[in-house]
Amino acid sequence: MKTYSKTRAIGGSLVVTIPANIVKAERIKENELVEIEIKKTKKDYFGTLKGIGRFTEEDELKGQLEEE
């Protein structure tokens, strides 16, 4: 099974909680040895700039036209 979980700090370690639905499905019990695979997820910024529109020639020249 696959899930995403956020890490949290306890002392000098990081802890990840196994969701209850996975615990039930895999019949995991306390103090049982389990294998985990760690992969950092990349943030998906798709759609965050929606509605901004295209850059215009005026936008490109904006910083150059201002006096110092």
* Distance from the Cα of residue 24 to its chain's centroid: 25
Per-residue pLDDT at 47 exceeds 80: no
Task: Please report the sign of the dihedral spanned by the C-alpha atoms of residue 60, residue 66, residue 67, residue 68.
Answer: negative
* Domain annotation covers residue 55: no
| Residue 50 pLDDT grade (very low, low, confident, very high; cuts 50, 70, 90) | confident
Please report whether residue 53 resides in a domain: no
Of the chain, the percentage scoring pLDDT greater than 90 comes to 44
pTM flag (> 0.75)? no
In the chain, the number of structural domains is 1
Q: Which domain holds residue 21?
A: 1-40
Q: Looking at the domain assignment, is residue 21 inside a domain?
A: yes
Taking the C-alpha atoms of residue 9 and residue 1, their distance in angstroms, rounded to an integer, is 24
Angle at 53 between CA 49 and CA 67, to 5 degrees: 100
**pLDDT reported for residue 65:** 59
Q: Is 4 within the bounds of a domain?
A: yes
Q: pLDDT averaged over the chain?
A: 83
Decide if 64 is inside a domain: no
